[in-house]
Amino acid sequence: MATTNAGAASAQGESEPAASPKPIVNDFSIQIATVNGSGSQSANSVLLRSIFVMGVPVSGKNLFPSNIAGLPTWYTIRASKHGYVARKKDIDILIAMNAETSREDILSLRPGAVAIYEESANLKQYRDDVTCYPVPFDKITAAVCPEAKLRKLVKNMIYVGVAAQLFSMDMKAVEDSLRKQFAKKQKAADLNWAAVEAGFNYAAQAFTKNDPFVLEPMHATEGKIIIDGNAAIALGAMFAGVTVVTWYPITPSSSVVEQLIDFLKKYRIEKDGKANFAVVQAEDELAAIGMVLGAGWAGARSMTATSGPGISLMAEFAGLGYFAELPGVIFDIQRVGPSTGLPTRTAQADLLSIAFLSHGDTKHVMLFPANVKECFEFAGAAFDLAEQLQTPIFVLSDLDLGMNNWMADPFDYPEKPLNRGKVLSADDLTKLGGFQRYQDKDGDAIPYRTLPGTDHPQASYFTRGSGHNEKALYSERPEDYQNLMERLARKFETARTMVPAALVVQTGKSKIGVVAFGTSDFAVTESRDQLKKEFGVEADYLRLRAYPFSREVRDFVASHDRVYVVEQNRDAQMLSLLKLDLPAAETPKLRSVRHFNGLPIDARSVTDEIVLQEGI
Amino acid sequence: MAATATPTPKTNRIGLPVVEYRGSKTTLCAGCGHNAISERIIDAMYEMGVQPEHVMKLSGIGCSSKSPAYFMSRSHSFNSVHGRMPSVATGAILANKTMLPIGVSGDGDSASIGIGQFVHLMRRNLPMIYIIEDNGVYGLTKGQFSATADIGSKLKTGVVNDLPAIDTCSLAIQLGATFVGRSFSGDKKQLLTMLKAAIAHKGTVMLDVISPCVTFNDHEGSTRSYKYMQDHEEPVGEVGFVPSFEEIDVEYDPGTTYDVTMHDGSSLRLRKLHEDYDPTDRALAVKTLMEAHDKGEILTGVFYIDTQKPAFTDLLNMVDEPLATLPQERTRPSKQVLEEIMSRLK
């Protein structure tokens, strides 16, 4: 399987690449094709980190199979002096380590690209328009690694050395990165470093550089951190004071809770050795969400993390959470579809199912973090919103953001105190002379609640689904149900004013607008530059950060003639939600740019589609 | 003071009259076994002197699950979704482990739609009282068989059940619940005693209470009718209970009685009716249940008790206070912690 969108190039017979091409500095992509379970992850991390340490903006993406070991996997690294971190549509440098896919891998390259591969595979026979660097990996590995069973792992470090030589990487940066990677294993570090040097030296004596790609030190990564989105969510939750965490393992969300457990064990054990949190691996997602809502009802800050199939199973409880007004936070790390097949590929395709998750009239609040910093910040905001609004809050990340490493500025400490929402104490009840659980006292449609254990004879109330009046008494009276439903709708309007607002970049002159959310932001940011540079088109941009949509959205659409909604699903789900929200007169302006092949969206695809629809 | 002043009502050891343990008026059918169970819960909580505000009532869906509205209005209550009360209870207990949680479920709610959550709750030994009000039928949907209906039991319509019953007590014992028994809504004394002992236990108490459905399953041919229970109930032992705050005044005879000291110092006394029955022997308990079932007997009493096994909340090693109300100073790590983590990611 090729992981580029480009059709297999049929460039056989074209002339050799020019002997001394103009250098392309700090602006290319590397794809390493390996077999999963072969230990290439460490080598790829070292490559990524070395470029980072050189001060060059870099991003890495793991395209892996749903499998323990033995199936093809690709790791893509993009170095970009412009700071672009979206997937690059074309691969510039291929490191083909998987014999099974190597033919297809090299055929998918564009002319002028580079291929590094095992000498015996003789990939040159397939492409004479690609710069080829054949390497006798096994021979070099055997020389540096006497222990046969370690060779499979060490072999990967050879390509790090080869790449370091060919693309002018700073060997000190490589060594620092490698020693950080094997920080606790001195012996492994030494062995792997020997392999890097062997690859480096081999390339120095065997090859004359015949391609344009080089790295040069920059200062664009100083002070930055590298983190994956799932770790950022885990940190956000810990600093938001989460106390009850429930989960059922599912790719790509498992590492949210796994990393959170590590953080909690390190930073949330009290002096007496006791935990101020509880983590439960539930029997399934139905139980995970039930525990979240039970804990939220009893006053804890509770969360679970899941992916699409888990969301489906949570449907009934999500509705109960909405009707009974129970706080809880659900992180959905979106992936492609159900069952086996592509659960390890990315998508933004759970929007519609979450917006109305459950039966009856339900509407849920969704937050859309677009980068690791927002993963951290929105995780925190979600707990405040859940308790303030007394409703489940869904945070939609995706596999691309969640499981890949991203550069970011260090996260800011949340200085704002936790907002625990409208909770009445025993003293409050004495002063008020009691309370009505579902009464809108403040005009914001958010009622007051009490927690079990509040020592006051009037503290208790009875929680149930839809059939209750303002006093939380059982009722099937039509007016009670209608009142409840109307108040819940008003509460959703209150939510509109509280969720993270959309971000707008607007010149005030352009007739074209782009709307995107989540990880599509990376591609759209780059695509807007392409549109401007290549076609002279300046497109304004609005990035959605939550549903219900903040007021900016309506104004943005109103002030443009054509608005392109960019998203990573087949059915234009965000566009559908916008249609429901916007005045009918505005909806014909909406146009759709969709990307749904399981790979992260890239800028070129966005640009091509907008150019096509604009008829440029 | 005027001589006509109303007499002070009788109060319990925390000074509350029994009326403070009552709930709303029941909407279940007159004669429903569930109402008798609600009455016994009121009596047990009153007699044990439990502060109503320290009780959480949890339920799923069904006639049984409506009943928490009919006892203890001063306690918070959560009528959740069908078959999923165990997860809601788990979350609530994690949030506030200082509460006394009582869950009310039914045979459909626990043994069919909710069997997945039921078995995992038992396995965790979650500290709560879990009552199945067991009538063998779905009442709210007008009388279909549930999974606890016995083979050969007949519906009003003449339909005969041809699948074996799930024995929730055997399941609970095998999976790890630490106080398992069966009673009958019509057996006031036994049920009240078992409920009082349940309040004193720390761990999962699973009580299957046979509770005839007067509307859909109280006819000739049903194995869950009042008549059938009167003819087939077979106590495994006589249950006695002395709460921690009362003095034991009866001599204990190890030949005829098992005496179990409970978590709070109360004493559970099981007078042997079946020879050699040992309520601390799991395998024997399950064997006895299966044999009784084969004989057509409905065994009642406390089948199994273990006061040593840690409850789920103990395994989690949580702080003593409720997690729900811990202050921010304890749940949000300091700025230095975040800076330390950030510097490691550079």
CA–CA separation, B106 and B92 (whole Å): 20
pLDDT per position as a tens digit, A300-352: 999 999 999 999 999 999 999 999 999 999 999 999 988 876 888 999 999 99
pLDDT score for B5: 66
Q: Which of A49-58, A404-413, B293-302 has the lowest mean pLDDT?
A: B293-302
* Contact with chain A for residue B144, Cβ under 8 A: no
CATH superfamily membership of A24-214: Pyruvate-ferredoxin oxidoreductase, PFOR, domain III (3.40.920.10)
* Contact with chain B for residue A244, Cβ under 8 A: yes
Give all domains of chain B, ordered by start, each with its CATH number: 18-329 (3.40.50.970)
Chain B residues closer than 8 Å to A226 by CB: 345-346
- Alpha-helical segments (H) within A365-477: 372-389, 399-403, 426-432
CB–CB contact A283 B117 (8 Å): yes
Report ipTM for this prediction. 0.96
Q: Which among B89, B328, B335 has CB closest to A294?
A: B89
Interface of A with B in 52-81 (CB under 8 A): none
Collect all residues with Cβ–Cβ distance below 8 Å to A29 and sequence separation of at least 6. Answer: A76, A77, A78, A79, A88, A90, A91, A92, A93
Chain A residues closer than 8 Å to B315 by CB: none
How large a percentage of chain A has pLDDT more than 70?
Answer: 97
CA–CA separation, A594 and A599 (whole Å): 12
CA distances from B248 to A286, B243, B252, B259 (A): 46, 9, 9, 11
- What are phi and psi for residue A280, nearest 5 degrees? -125, 125
CA–CA separation, B49 and B239 (whole Å): 20
Classify residue A518 by burial, with Cβ atoms within 10 Å: 0-12, 13-18, 19+. buried
Residues forming beta bridges with residue A512, ordered by sequence position:
A562
* Contact with chain B for residue A357, Cβ under 8 A: no
Block residue for tokens 């590094």: A116
pLDDT score for A1: 44
pLDDT per position as a tens digit, A71-121: 889 999 999 999 999 999 999 999 999 999 999 999 999 999 999 999 999
pLDDT score for B156: 87
* pLDDT grade for B8, boundaries at 50, 70 and 90: confident
Give the residue among A606, A612, A614, A613 at the shortest CA–CA distance from A5. A606
Chain A residues closer than 8 Å to B117 by CB: 283, 286-287, 290
- What are phi and psi for residue B134, nearest 5 degrees? -105, 110
- What are phi and psi for residue B149, nearest 5 degrees? -65, 140
How large a percentage of chain B has pLDDT more than 90?
Answer: 83
Mean pLDDT of B10-19: 97
pLDDT score for A339: 80
Classify residue B157 by burial, with Cβ atoms within 10 Å: 0-12, 13-18, 19+. exposed
pLDDT score for B110: 96
pLDDT score for B4: 63
Highest mean pLDDT among A33-37, A153-157, A408-412: A408-412
Mean pLDDT of B118-147: 95
Give the residue among A582, A596, A505, A597 at the shortest CA–CA distance from A548. A582
SS3 content of chain A, % helix, strand, coil (to 5): 40, 20, 40
CB–CB contact B95 A298 (8 Å): yes
Q: Which among B53, B75, B117 has CB closest to A456?
A: B53
pLDDT per position as a tens digit, B304-337: 999 999 999 999 999 999 999 999 999 999 999 9
Q: Within 10 A of A25 (CB to CB), how many other CB atoms are there? A: 16
pLDDT score for B258: 85
Smallest CA–CA distance from B52 into chain A, residue: A457
Give the residue among A250, A235, A257 at the shortest CA–CA distance from A334. A250
Q: Is the model's pLDDT at A282 over the cut of 50?
A: yes
* Contact with chain A for residue B338, Cβ under 8 A: yes
CA–CA separation, A489 and A493 (whole Å): 7
Measure in Å the smallest separation between the Cα of A298 and chain B Cα atoms.
Answer: 5
Q: Enumerate the domain spans of chain A.
A: 24-214, 227-408, 426-498, 503-614
pLDDT score for A243: 98
How large a percentage of chain A has pLDDT more than 90?
Answer: 89
* Contact with chain B for residue A194, Cβ under 8 A: no
How far from each other are the two terminal CA atoms of chain B, in whole angstroms? 80
Q: Which among A294, A413, A462 has CB closest to B92?
A: A294
The CATH class of the A227-408 domain is alpha beta
pLDDT score for A86: 95
CA distances from B255 to B181, B183, B234 (A): 22, 24, 21
pLDDT per position as a tens digit, A535-557: 999 999 999 999 999 999 999 99
Collect all residues with Cβ–Cβ distance below 8 Å to A309 and sequence separation of at least 6. Answer: A250, A285, A338, A339
pLDDT score for A467: 87
3-class DSSP assignment, residue A128: coil
* Contact with chain B for residue A229, Cβ under 8 A: no
CA–CA separation, A187 and A176 (whole Å): 15
CA–CA separation, B182 and A198 (whole Å): 74
pLDDT score for A85: 94
The strands making up B267-272's β-sheet, listed across from edge to edge, are: B237-242, B267-272, B257-261
pLDDT greater at residue B173 or residue B4: B173
CB–CB contact B345 A294 (8 Å): no
* pLDDT grade for A14, boundaries at 50, 70 and 90: very low
CB–CB contact A460 B323 (8 Å): no
CB–CB contact A244 B95 (8 Å): yes
* pLDDT grade for A468, boundaries at 50, 70 and 90: very high
Smallest CA–CA distance from B342 into chain A, residue: A410
CA–CA separation, B19 and B29 (whole Å): 22
pLDDT score for B237: 86
Inter-residue contact A328 to A392 (CB < 8 Å): yes
Collect all residues with Cβ–Cβ distance below 8 Å to A520 and sequence separation of at least 6. Answer: A348, A370, A566, A567, A568, A595, A601, A606
Q: Do domains A24-214 and A227-408 have the same CATH topology?
A: no
pLDDT greater at residue A288 or residue B7: A288
Q: Within 10 A of A69 (CB to CB), how many other CB atoms are there? A: 10
CB–CB contact B91 A298 (8 Å): yes
Classify residue B345 by burial, with Cβ atoms within 10 Å: 0-12, 13-18, 19+. middle
Tell me the count of A-B CB pairs closer than 8 A.
222
Average pLDDT over all residues of chain A: 94
CATH architecture observed for domain A503-614: 3-Layer(aba) Sandwich (3.40)
